[in-house]
Chains A and B, each alone.
Chain A
Amino acid sequence: MSIDNPDITWETLTTLNAGLDFKLFNQTLSASVDVFRGSRTGILTASAIPGVLGQTLTVNAGEVESKGLEAALQYDRQIGPVRVSLYGNVTVTDDRIRAENGQDGLPEYQRTIGRVVGSRLVFLSNGIFQTQAEIDASPRQILSGKVVPGDIRYQDVGGVNGAPDGVIDNLDRVRINQSDLPKAYFGFGTVLAYKRLDLTVHFQGLRGRTLDVQGLVNAGPSALNDESLRRWTPANAATAQYPRLGISDRANNTAGSDFWLVSGNYLRLKNVELGVSLPTTLLGKYRLKNARLYMGGFNLISFDSLGLDVDPEIPGAGRGSSYPYVKTIYLGLRTSF
């Protein structure tokens, strides 16, 4: 006997697109650039009807505005015996929420409107408490029953009356434009050939992403894992990277905060391969038309600033039940008869 919403419909996607493809310098450089700007309106979102109705409704009331750029560049040239091919591509996007229900009564610093899709509502941290005196002199943190040295310190941002009130509660959470959705994806690489040798190198990466590593640091039985060694103890208080380890009443240190947000940017040598085509004089003996000997690898090197021994491409892997991308080294011979 639920009330339904007969007006419910598809969301509307509007996109304005401009593209340019061109080749220069005797067709050695080709490029393609595409810019877009668009909006999705009528996204399904919960209604803002009071709870006394006794049920919830879904309505077409959300709106997201997107703009972005896609570009690809390719350069091919023969320089004497060397054939050079270089390429790169990048996608940059910016998606912002323009309308969403349930935001009206929230303080401005907590609203999703105007912020990026996937923005986070977090406490702003300010290091780790070192002494009881520091705790006593700070706003009261009420996220867990007890707060002791070794716990994360938070900033007092707001309160019931809009101003900081000396209590760290949910009104001190701030919505920040940091999302685990990247702002930019890119890839680049080269293919080189010199006589019988050829070399392929491909990099990929992304930028403008933050990751919440709280779950990684607190993974394991009673939150015990390798990272526990870097947790706060009175002995290593000055250098500890993470708050004290607690087996219970630890909500203060597991609450969503920027303490746990780290850059999720990475650059990875996704593939490298060196090959040599064997001379036909050698092959004739074995009735082979051609053969290529090659060796290479996948995922050999990655650069990231997570500070954790995890795969930046699949950050959750290796802690739970999912596997990271494996590092592969291969050696092969391809022939045809």
Chain B
Amino acid sequence: MKKTNRLLLALAFAVALVACKKDYLDFDYTDGNIRDEADIWRSDRNTRGFLSNVYFGILNRYNLDGNGSMLAQASDEAVNSNLSSSINIFNNGTWGSLRTIDDQYTNMYNFLRRANIFLENSLGSNVTPASDIPKLRGEAFFLRALYHFELMKRYGPIVLATRSFTLDDQLDLPQNTLEQVVEQIAKDCDSAAVALSPSLGDLAAGDKGRATQTAALALKARTLLYAASPLNNPGGDATKWQKAADAAKVLIDLKKHSLLTQAQLPSLWNYGSQAYNAEVIFASQTDNNNTLERNNAPISYDGALGRTNPTQELVDAFDMRPNGKPITDPTSGYNPQAPYTDRDPRLAMFILVNNVTFKAKPVEAFEGGKDNVPINVNNTKTGYYLRKFLVEGAFWGVGTAINVRRPWVLFRYAEVLLNYAEALNEAQGPVADVYANVNLIRARVGMPALPAGLTKDQMRERIQRERQVELCFEDHRFFDVRRWKKGEALFNRPVTGMRVTRTGTTFSYARFQVENRVFTETMYRFPFPQTELIKAPKNLKQNPGW
């Protein structure tokens, strides 16, 4: 009897448990706790968090290999002071599908997948207020466009990932044509632009790193510029240039951005003093560190590594300040024995030449100087060191480190003006608007306006040099020279440096060859990694020549 009672009691308790389950054992999974995929979209916080994860694919380009390499060292802008640097794979002819570098292939598809999953699920998500959803989706559209662009600028025709693939899909997909890729990127930029806040200035303090309308427009303008360039537009279709010009003009006409002043320009990348300044259109997450300074300052500065050594080719691209003439012009007033006098003020802002002051002491790049010690493996290979991006306040020596808050700036207004001028010149010739926009950039550093009466070809040369100077070290030259189809002319030749000799208090200067560089027709595009070709044997076609 007693036993039966106990059994009954246990049974009753079990029934009660089952009855109560719904009330007491069911957690509220809608916020914070994730049980399965669907729970992400039931939660405001997790949906937003998912989007934040999509941002992690943005590439920060200050330090590609953890040892101070930058893409500038793979163009005629600079040499890496570490001769063993992997960046030299680009320069010495050892590049290939089995020896890849800066290959973002699987990395970008990883983030494209995340962007697509967000776009597929966010419409039905519990974001509060729901009116935020279009804006968040706009950010995802922008990021999807950006990641496709990162692939396109390296590989050219790629497989578009406009949905999240599953294992049931046939994944050995044929590449889309370049036109389709460009069209998709432009379309995603448009979808982003209509939904997003106009510019960084319109974002709340905590949202400053997010994509904006101008970011989407800048990406679209750059993509169309790449699409119109000789590499991708061998027929020279002028309407493509016009489209590129129009896209840039839309951004300019919004009047949301402006150029910093000459005094502000050096700290454009320093968010400690110029956070989210008017020239920045879109930048990566900020880091607080002094790695950039430590990697690139001259070697006598607390054991800095002097990694990015600008070339003489880049230094020579800076025009003469009084008359705006290139130094190759016999009437420019260039004096080979006072080569840094009366030059474009940006030379001093971007490059450390011998005897300029950096961190309150002169840079001694002359032979025998503290910053020219050949037995130090980190010694400058060209006679120059990097100045752009560097903040003098940073400190990495013995004692308390002083860090700098700094993003990698992906898009800035000066580039948009140059994109516009270049595209417009190609579409319509050197019309007034071309002059006006290039001159804006020159005027802000006190450079004379371009001379009137330039031909279209002359204007093209000037714009290309203006880009080389203004956007140096910003990951542009490597791709610009490729899209201009000038690789054989500019990258397949030795890079040079400047040997400075001190006699008493005077310096004398002699150019010297630093190293040979190899560029073949194949290298206009990146090789698809061999590992990927193996996985997609039917449809993924290696780029020509690799």
Residues on the A chain within 8 Å of B91, using CB = 145
Q: Are B83 and A54 in touch, CB under 8 angstroms?
A: no
Q: Are A50 and B532 in touch, CB under 8 angstroms?
A: yes
Residues on the A chain within 8 Å of B84, using CB = 144, 248-251
Main secondary structure, interface of A, reads loop
The answer to whether residues A50 and B98 also contact, given A145-B92, A145-B515, A247-B377 and a CB cut-off of 8 A, is no
Report which of A50, A106, A251 forms a contact with B536, defined as CB distance below 8 A. A50
Please encode chain B, from 93 to 116, with 1 for each CB lying within 8 Å of some chain A CB and 0 for all others: 110101100000110011111100
Residues on the A chain within 8 Å of B532, using CB = 50-51
Q: Are B110 and A145 in touch, CB under 8 angstroms?
A: no
Binding site for A on B (CB under 8 A): 37, 40, 50, 82-84, 88, 91-94, 96, 98-99, 105-106, 109-114, 117, 159, 161, 164-167, 171-173, 377, 515, 530-537, 540
Closest residue of B by beta carbon distance from A105: B534
Report which of B96, B109, B377 forms a contact with A54, defined as CB distance below 8 A. B109
Closest residue of A by beta carbon distance from B545: A160
Query: What is the CB-to-nearest-CB distance from B470 to chain A, in angstroms, rounded to a whole number?
Result: 30
Kindly state the separation between the CA atoms of A177 and B368 in the bound complex, as whole angstroms: 53
Q: Are A54 and B534 in touch, CB under 8 angstroms?
A: no
Residues on the A chain within 8 Å of B164, using CB = 1, 54
Kindly state the separation between the CA atoms of A274 and B138 in the bound complex, as whole angstroms: 84
A143 within 8 Å of B (CB atoms)? yes
A311 within 8 Å of B (CB atoms)? no
Q: Are B109 and A53 in touch, CB under 8 angstroms?
A: yes
Query: What is the CB-to-nearest-CB distance from B163 to chain A, in angstroms, rounded to a whole number?
Result: 11
Kindly state the separation between the CA atoms of A102 and B533 in the bound complex, as whole angstroms: 10
Kindly state the separation between the CA atoms of A302 and B166 in the bound complex, as whole angstroms: 58
A8 within 8 Å of B (CB atoms)? no
Interface residues on chain A, number (Cβ under 8 Å): 28
Residues on the B chain within 8 Å of A48, using CB = 534-535
Q: Are B113 and A53 in touch, CB under 8 angstroms?
A: yes
Kindly state the separation between the CA atoms of A56 and B530 in the bound complex, as whole angstroms: 16
Q: Are B535 and A54 in touch, CB under 8 angstroms?
A: no
Kindly state the separation between the CA atoms of A141 and B531 in the bound complex, as whole angstroms: 22
Kindly state the separation between the CA atoms of A232 and B87 in the bound complex, as whole angstroms: 28
Residues on the B chain within 8 Å of A171, using CB = 98
Kindly state the separation between the CA atoms of A169 and B171 in the bound complex, as whole angstroms: 30
Report which of B37, B167, B377, B534 forms a contact with A106, defined as CB distance below 8 A. B534
The answer to whether residues A49 and B112 also contact, given A145-B88, A171-B98 and a CB cut-off of 8 A, is no
Query: What is the CB-to-nearest-CB distance from A163 to chain B, in angstroms, rounded to a whole number?
Result: 17
The answer to whether residues A142 and B94 also contact, given A50-B532, A51-B105 and a CB cut-off of 8 A, is yes
Kindly state the separation between the CA atoms of A53 and B109 in the bound complex, as whole angstroms: 7
Beyond known contacts A49-B171, A50-B535: 9 more, CB 8 A cutoff:
A1-B114, A49-B535, A50-B536, A51-B532, A53-B109, A105-B534, A144-B84, A145-B515, A248-B82
Query: Can you list 25 pairs linking A and B with CB atoms under 8 Å apart?
Result: A49-B167, A52-B159, A52-B161, A52-B173, A53-B109, A53-B113, A53-B167, A54-B109, A54-B110, A54-B111, A54-B112, A54-B113, A54-B161, A54-B164, A56-B106, A104-B537, A142-B93, A145-B88, A145-B92, A169-B94, A169-B96, A169-B99, A170-B98, A248-B83, A248-B84
Kindly state the separation between the CA atoms of A146 and B171 in the bound complex, as whole angstroms: 41
A55 within 8 Å of B (CB atoms)? yes
Binding site for B on A (CB under 8 A): 1, 3, 48-57, 102, 104-106, 142-145, 169-171, 247-251
Nearest 6 pairs between A and B by C-beta? A54-B113, A105-B534, A170-B98, A249-B83, A142-B94, A248-B83
Kindly state the separation between the CA atoms of A135 and B232 in the bound complex, as whole angstroms: 39
Kindly state the separation between the CA atoms of A113 and B33 in the bound complex, as whole angstroms: 45
Query: What is the CB-to-nearest-CB distance from B374 to chain A, in angstroms, rounded to a whole number?
Result: 12
Closest residue of B by beta carbon distance from A51: B106
Kindly state the separation between the CA atoms of A295 and B293 in the bound complex, as whole angstroms: 63
Kindly state the separation between the CA atoms of A322 and B173 in the bound complex, as whole angstroms: 50
Kindly state the separation between the CA atoms of A53 and B105 in the bound complex, as whole angstroms: 11
Q: Are B37 and A102 in touch, CB under 8 angstroms?
A: no
Q: Are A3 and B166 in touch, CB under 8 angstroms?
A: yes
Q: Are A170 and B99 in touch, CB under 8 angstroms?
A: yes
Closest residue of B by beta carbon distance from A140: B93
Kindly state the separation between the CA atoms of A251 and B99 in the bound complex, as whole angstroms: 13
Q: Are A143 and B166 in touch, CB under 8 angstroms?
A: no
Q: Are A51 and B535 in touch, CB under 8 angstroms?
A: yes
Closest residue of A by beta carbon distance from B81: A248
The answer to whether residues A1 and B112 also contact, given A143-B94, A248-B83 and a CB cut-off of 8 A, is no
Kindly state the separation between the CA atoms of A50 and B540 in the bound complex, as whole angstroms: 9
Closest residue of A by beta carbon distance from B173: A52
Query: What is the CB-to-nearest-CB distance from A156 to chain B, in angstroms, rounded to a whole number?
Result: 15
Point out which of A104, A143, A145 has the most chain B C-beta atoms below 10 A from its C-beta.
A145
Query: What is the CB-to-nearest-CB distance from B537 to chain A, in angstroms, rounded to a whole number?
Result: 6
Q: Are B172 and A50 in touch, CB under 8 angstroms?
A: yes
The answer to whether residues A145 and B83 also contact, given A52-B171, A53-B165, A104-B534 and a CB cut-off of 8 A, is yes
Closest residue of A by beta carbon distance from B542: A160
Query: What is the CB-to-nearest-CB distance from A146 to chain B, in angstroms, rounded to a whole number?
Result: 8
Point out which of A3, A54, A55 has the most chain B C-beta atoms below 10 A from its C-beta.
A54
Residues on the A chain within 8 Å of B109, using CB = 51-54
Kindly state the separation between the CA atoms of A52 and B515 in the bound complex, as whole angstroms: 38
